[in-house]
Amino acid sequence: MAVARGHAVDLLTNSPFAPGLPLESWLGPGATVHRVDARLDKAATVAAVGAWLAESTPDVLVVDTFPRGLAGELVTLLPTVRAPRVLVHRDLNPVYVERFDVARAVDAFDLLVVPGEDAPFAHHPRAVRTAPWLLLDADALLSQVEARRRLGLDDGDSSPLAVVMGCGRPEEVAEAGETVARLRALLAGRAAVLWLVPTPHEGGRTVWPALEVLRGVDVLVGAGGYNTVQEARATGTPLVAWARPRLYDRQALRLREEERVGDAAELEAKVTSLLLHQAGPARPSAWVNGVHAAVEAIERVAR
């Protein structure tokens, strides 16, 4: 969104998926992407971030989630940054918040943007809440027919469609493939089941961002990560999800009881029920995307 509004954006990420995602073409010519190898140890990560920041002269520095940085490097680096500092403030495990005195780190920021969920310092005097952030606005999504075509279904195929998200840790990606195999055997002849992956993986269909095709999906199977949950709710896509254990992100708190599953049998029962036995409410055609308000708030701080 910042690029669309005419800003030049330098993006630094150590996501393990970043090397396989077409971020440059998707973001456009106003963005430069710097990928830090996710396999680097703490010292190497600190060095990489420090080198990048030393060469940068930003008009505003935006830090996502971790006010202390990817590996604690911002505790010493932030005082050297003369530009306004913005924190995208998401939920964090309270054990981490207390152990590393995150409250002190948060006070180093000029603005906290809280993207649609509660967070430890959401009531900070410099905090601004927005609606949830989505990678696409409603008018950028494919129609139901176009989405099903993009997913490889024939135009005349009216079978209900379940999509299993294959992302996360390697063992979780493998588990998603096993879930697809079980659902296909269970629903043979009654529904279609696809395995969606953000980067190429044997047996999976590569689609990113998945939000683009959700209007063609009848049931989404995944985990309780921020993007998956918010995209499912914005598009009205029924969600069946694991609460994956994470060091910082508390997925169990994000998921509603009717969305969360504890084992494979419960997952299969919920997917079958949603696909074959329940007519859900009408899907919304539009939603409020919080990225617009977030960019406007950041622009005000930058000025």
Model pLDDT for residues 175-231, shown as the tens digit of each residue: 899 999 999 999 999 999 999 998 888 888 999 999 999 999 999 999 999 999 999
Q: What is the rounded distance in angstroms from the CA atom of residue 297 to the CA atom of residue 106?
A: 17
| pLDDT tens-digit readout, 8-27 | 999 999 988 888 889 998 89
Q: What is the rounded distance in angstroms from the CA atom of residue 58 to the CA atom of residue 302?
A: 10
| pLDDT tens-digit readout, 102-145 | 999 999 999 999 999 999 999 999 999 999 999 999 999 999 99
Are 208 and 152 spatial neighbours (Cβ–Cβ below 8 Å)?
Answer: no
DSSP tally for the chain: helices H, then strands E: 11, 12
pLDDT at 279 over 80: no
Task: Give this prediction's pTM.
Answer: 0.92
